[in-house]
Amino acid sequence: MTPPNPRKKAFYANSSMQVLFAVAAAISLGYLRPTTAIAMKPLGDAFIRLITMIITLVIFSTVVTGIAGMEDLKKVGRVGGKALLYFELVSTLALFIGLAAGNIVHPGSAFNVNAAKLDARAVAEYAGQAKTQSVSEFLMHIIPNTVLDAFSKGDILQVLLVSVLFGFALSAAGPRSKPLLDFFNLLTEAVFGVVSILMRFAPIGAFGALAFTIGKYGIASLGPLAKLIGTFYGTSILFVFIVLGVIARFAGFGILKFLAYIKEEILLVLAISSSEPAMPTLMAKLEKLGCSKGLVGLVVPTGYTFNTDGTSMYMTLAALFVAQATNTPLTLTQELTIFAVAVLTSKGASGVQGAAFIALVATMTVIPAIPVAGMALILGIDRFMSMCRATVNMIGNGVATVVVSRWEKELSAETLRKNLA
């Protein structure tokens, strides 16, 4: 007798379908009832804060247990070195692609804006926060004033530093650290249990964030800047399917299957315009693929600062757009200067919404010929641009983690393809 098939989960109970429904409802409400849609903003903000409050614990528990569980501590330095090399190569390529797209498409050439008539006050707040850090300042910033300060500020790199040091210390203690390591393993399970509970509210958070965006800025506001938006989204799609697709193919997996595997995270990031809330579930899924806990804990959080592919493309493309829109001619030397400065400033733009805009202002101040007030042209659509930036950033970090895992030979191509299937 054939046993009965297990009852299939209803389609509306699927998390990705729930987020899709929420996105459709948010767009409809934002278009039909803008005032009501704007009032939904606290739903999105609350969800982001709920996830953000647990991210530091996710990083700490994952990295500590991962490193302490590694038999070869040299692997930690090797993984970190490979990851940073990958991040620098791919994010620099993304900067170049953004620069090339701006020169080929010329998205701002038809604007003919008089920079003197622009309202610079709209950008003043971002300009005040924009500051190009030196290498020494950036390195000093990684070191927190106290251990608790790293967690209270929620600075990913500072928490990562504390976690790595703690993991090394536990590993060096040998068998004596087993009781504490068991505690951290249990803490890791509990933390991801909390994440699982919080992610049930993802559709509500996505609805609130996207409804606010559509209600406040309106779909009609995209019209005048459609060429810039189209150029950026088109360039990002090509980057994911061609650049990341080729990298994935060399690593032994298909980019389409990987995108399908993390579809819930993609939908969530698109809706809320920030990649950080998707970090815990992305890390969990990468571990399920076969990447080790220690490697995931090192590569993903570090990538959120050093591997911002979407932000990199946006910064060079947007800088050229402002120059073209204000009829500011740029020499090859000036364009290369923007490129070189963006290599540094883009590293400070993490998944938090608005950070990329601040980094872009910091980049443009290096070329006085470009009026910073021209940034007011794209301030109104930055939230829409942020959707794409954050999504590409998140996808890029997922691919990077799998690639480094393949380099370390801890994940075979057969196992990877099987798990993605």
pTM: 0.81
| Exposed/middle/buried for residue 106 (C-beta within 10 Å: 0-12, 13-18, 19+) | middle
Confidence at residue 193, expressed as pLDDT on a 0 to 100 scale: 87
Tell me if residue 134 falls in helix, strand or coil. Answer: coil
Q: Is residue 212 within 8 Å of 27, Cβ to Cβ?
A: no
What's the whole-number mean pLDDT along residues 123-147? 64
Sign of CA dihedral 83, 88, 89, 90: positive
Condensed to tens digits (0 to 9), the pLDDT of residues 183-218 reads 888 888 888 888 888 888 888 888 888 888 788 777
Residue-range domain boundaries for the chain: 13-420
Residue type, 378: I
Most confident of 8-22, 140-154, 236-250, 352-366: 236-250
Condensed to tens digits (0 to 9), the pLDDT of residues 15-44 reads 667 778 888 888 888 888 888 888 888 888
Q: For residues 55 and 50, what is the distance between their CA atoms, to the nearest angstrom?
A: 9
Q: For residues 253 and 258, what is the distance between their CA atoms, to the nearest angstrom?
A: 8
Q: For residues 217 and 259, what is the distance between their CA atoms, to the nearest angstrom?
A: 29
Examine the pLDDT at 352 and tell me if it is beyond 70: no
Phi, psi torsion values for 319, nearest 5 degrees: -65, -45
Higher pLDDT, 396 or 182: 396
Q: For residues 167 and 69, what is the distance between their CA atoms, to the nearest angstrom?
A: 9
Confidence at residue 2, expressed as pLDDT on a 0 to 100 scale: 46
For residue 97, what are its two tokens?
A: 């692609």
What's the whole-number mean pLDDT along residues 379-384? 75
Helix 293-306 / helix 74-105 crossing angle, nearest 10 deg: 40
> Could you tell me the CATH superfamily of domain 13-420?
Sodium:dicarboxylate symporter (1.10.3860.10)
Buried b (16+ CB within 10 A) or exposed e, 86-97: bbeebbbebbeb
Provide the phi-psi class of 354: left if phi over 0, else alpha when psi is between -120 and 50, else beta.
Answer: left
Beta strands in 281-391 (DSSP E): none
Q: Which of 328, 305, 415 is nearest to 377 (CA)?
A: 328
